[in-house]
Amino acid sequence: MKKAILTLLCIFSVSAMVAQTDISGTVKDGSGVPVTGANILILNSSSGATTDFDGNFSFSTSLTGTQKLQVSYIGYETYTQDIELNGTAITLQIVLKEGGTSLDEVVLTASATFRSQKETPMSISSLKQKEITKLSVNSQADVLRSIPGITAEGGGGETASNIFVRGLPSGGQYVFNPLQYDGMPLMSTFGLNSSAHDVYARPDIGFKGVEFVRGGAAVLYGAGSVAGIINYTSKTGDSNDENIINIEWADEGRLKTDFYTGGKLGGEESNTYYAFTGFVRKDDGPIDTGLPTKGVQFRANIKQKFENGSFTIHGQFINDKAQFFLPLPLDGATRTRLPGNDGKAVSQLLSGELARTSFLTAGGVYESPIEDGVHTQGGYIMGDFKYNFSDDLKFKSKIRYANYKHNFALYIGGNGDNNNPITLNEYVNNIAPGNLGFSASYQGTSDQISGSDLVLDNLHIDRLRPMTDYSGEASLTKTLNVENGTHNITGGFFLARTEAEDVNYQYRVLSEFNNNPKLVNLSYTDAGGNNVVFSDGGLYNRIGMTSNRFLSQSRTAFYLTDEMVFDKWRFDVGFRIENTKGTFNNGNIVESQVYDNPELTPELANVNFADGSFTRADVDATDWAVSLAGLYKLSTAVNLYANFSKGFFFPQIRGFAPIATGVTGSKYDSERIIQFEAGAKVGTEKLKGSLAAYYVGLSDRIKIDQGFSNGTLVDLFRSDQSTSTLGLEATYDWRFAENFNLRGSTTYQAHEITKNERTDLVANTTTTVDEGNELARQPNFLGTLGVYFDNGKWDALFSLNHTGSKFAADNNNVELDAITIGRLGAGYEFPMGANDSGDTLRLGFSIFNLFDDEGVTEGDPRNINQQGDAEFFFGRPILPRRFFLTATFNF
């Protein structure tokens, strides 16, 4: 009996040994560089592995017969190969092709697993860092306007771009789509101080690229998002050292040097790797203000690889100053720039003479940071932990701390009491009817100004906005094998707390009408014979502090998702529940006399400042989201997909100011959004693209419009709004000849305001307005089209980005003309050193706004009632044409 049992055990052991097949190999890119972290998987199973830092992998499987092996990694096309499993060891040498804009490129954002765009039942676009570098971008807007369905307004310059997503209202900045670095948002809670996410960081060459996920699935993972997630993924070091230096020169005084270095720390047996990147730059343009645009950013990460996972520490330091351009007076008929006193077209009204402006307040001397423009100083540190308990049970966690000292200095051109350029004689008659004479000179000189010269008055705002952010995420993914497929079930949570100040100072300035204008000191003799000092040091109203707010907000979320993979079907389902709590501390402001010169106007003698008292209130809301998506593989070339989501967005708490301690002006509740999309994705050797129809419905949105009351910029209107959008979107990438590609996208959307109850926060009245109108600043048509050439040495591009006509405000009084931005670029890559060294130098050029389109990106958002037939129109044109030269050295 014992012999029989022993014989059976031996037979069973031998059978088991025969059934086990060992699979090993290496994964490299086209240059022979090992690909670290590539995902190797036998489809429809849990058998697989991840490459180590030398690109090696190995695993065993009990599967038999012909199976399909898949190798995927972000930035590369997915590789598939049939393998025969019969117990004989298999060794593979796999080469991955760079993915470009291909639907086969692997994406990671808003998902628990590596998947190609073609196999994901939602809209995803990506752009590699190499392509971003070739563009020589002015701002995030230049990167993102190539994404289908994105309206990107970059007329403000380097920072604070306005990014609007298809189907949703123009909340300004990044309201409905957070900007993330390595899967964590740069600011976890939006709306504490209305600063755009891109003021906290700048893109550099230390990224692999950027992904943009559109649609409701984006709400589920991590911080979540109503409409989409913009995620930059950092490079981490591997066993092959890599060094990049990119030098960029442009007209208007731009000089920028980016660098990246990465590799192994320690000896041959070390599993510790590093990456260090950043930039140093200085720029007098794209529009010269006489004030500095300059700064540095450094980012780094250190990664420790161990047997079943890794731990990576990421860090950033930034100290950067960028000038910011706002709408200014344009010709009312043509909406082109007006000639100044010197005969040159006026492109901005920010004066370098305002540098180091200061004045007295009841709390002491206030020194304006106007010369620093948008100045951000600080950084973050983040820990990223990954651990595989087994091949089918994986844990991920991120923890991030950020602290920034941030000032946002704005010069709002054309927003004074006499905000149109008029002659000095007319100006004095307006402010002092019946005056007996005046004296006007440029600040710092005794030179008198001609009465026929043009002047105007303007508002300057200093927004002092330090911010601290704590956030963390953890998730556990379990893979379950079932008949004909697998389930990837993920449960996770997200926690965040953000604290911010929103302290504003304002003052008004009298200047000539020129680029970089001189300030004007003005005195006059009134009708009673008294001497009156109207402007002193160029200031005619010192105003002082206008807000003294301290805000905090916490978020707690839990999510559960299942990504299902079957033979021809993929299904994604997910649920998220989230609570937010916020506290609003609103400091009281009083006016007091701080200057005793009797010749000064009250506007110069009296200055606002905080009296030390606060009104406080809390807000609290909870909501849930669900996402359902499916994809069917119709053929090897065509996949059909559809997705539906019910999501939410917590409105900006600064729109719910307390009216008494513990009491807000209205109920705080979430904004709800329904999204649906259905379409097809096509991927062949020569043609890759997608076609989809979509619907977006937003309910109970809270919108805040700023405007002027008694000469001060305040929150003027608060609207309870609902909107509805139907659209069509197509993307395509056609290789029409060897090394030539035609790429582009087309988005058409019909949108409508279905509800709009507006409360006048100054008069405290509520009316129904604008219902049935189109959404402000959202075009009906968006499109991109470009021809690209790349043969490995020469590369070139010619592209057009078209934004259709749109209305400046919800009242649809003013329609802005369509804008087309052209780009032209080319480069040549030289081998450097030995033929097999891999060292290269690329020399290239790029031209932004090739045809120098002067289209207006937006009207005056602080004057929503402006008309389109006035003598002057306030708007912000796109940036002028600019020429860039680049030298990129890889070694």
- Per-residue pLDDT at 108: 67
In contact, 212 and 146? CB cutoff 8 Å: no
Beginning with the edge strand found earlier in the chain, give each strand of the sheet holding 65-72 in spatial order. 48-50, 39-42, 65-72, 79-85
The β-bridge partners of 564 are 487, 571
Instruction: Say which DSSP state 778 is in.
Output: -
What would the two tokens of residue 345 be? Answer: 């077209």
- Per-residue pLDDT at 18: 46
Q: Which secondary-structure segment (H or E) carries 424?
A: helix 424-431
- Residues 6+ positions from 346 with CB-CB distance below 8 Å: 328, 329, 337, 338, 339, 340, 513, 514, 515
Query: What gap in Å lies between CA 741 and CA 746, rounded to an integer?
Result: 17
Hey, is 7 helix, strand or coil?
Answer: helix
Torsions phi, psi for 518 (to 5 deg): -80, 145
DSSP per-residue string spanning 681-710: EEE-SSEEEEEEEEEEEEEEEEEEEEEEET
- Going by C-alpha positions, the residue among 90, 89, 92 that lies closest to residue 17 is 89
- Per-residue pLDDT at 10: 47
> What's the chain's length in residues?
891
- Residues 6+ positions from 124 with CB-CB distance below 8 Å: 107, 109, 110, 117, 211, 212, 213, 214
3-state helix, strand, coil in the chain (%, to 5): 5, 60, 35
In contact, 757 and 770? CB cutoff 8 Å: no
What would the two tokens of residue 816 be? Answer: 């802005």
Query: What gap in Å lies between CA 804 and CA 813, rounded to an integer?
Result: 17
Residue 731 burial (CB count, 10 A): 26
Angstrom distances, CA of residue 12 to CA of 20, 89, 398 = 12, 20, 45
Torsions phi, psi for 19 (to 5 deg): -70, -20
- Residues 6+ positions from 37 with CB-CB distance below 8 Å: 50, 51, 73
- Going by C-alpha positions, the residue among 28, 60, 68 that lies closest to residue 44 is 68
Query: What gap in Å lies between CA 19 and CA 719, rounded to an integer?
Result: 67
Q: What is the pTM of this model?
A: 0.88
Residue 291 burial (CB count, 10 A): 21
- Going by C-alpha positions, the residue among 644, 748, 752, 654 that lies closest to residue 698 is 752
Query: What gap in Å lies between CA 711 and CA 635, rounded to an integer?
Result: 65
Instruction: Walk along the chain (891 residues) in steps of 10 and give the mean pLDDT of each run.
Output: 47 49 88 76 80 82 88 78 91 81 67 80 86 87 88 88 88 81 88 83 91 80 84 86 94 94 89 96 88 93 92 97 91 93 93 92 95 95 95 94 94 78 95 95 90 93 94 96 90 96 95 94 96 96 96 96 92 95 95 97 98 95 95 94 93 84 86 94 91 95 78 79 96 94 96 94 89 95 96 95 94 93 96 80 96 91 74 91 96 91
Query: What gap in Å lies between CA 16 and CA 9, rounded to an integer?
Result: 10
Query: What gap in Å lies between CA 753 and CA 777, rounded to an integer?
Result: 13
The alpha carbons of the chain give a radius of gyration, in whole angstroms, of: 30
The C-alpha angle with vertex 322 and arms to 321 and 325, in degrees rounded to 5, equals 150
Judge if the upstream peptide bond of residue 286 is cis by omega within 30 degrees of 0.
yes
Angstrom distances, CA of residue 403 to CA of 319, 380, 465, 500, 661 = 12, 6, 11, 10, 29
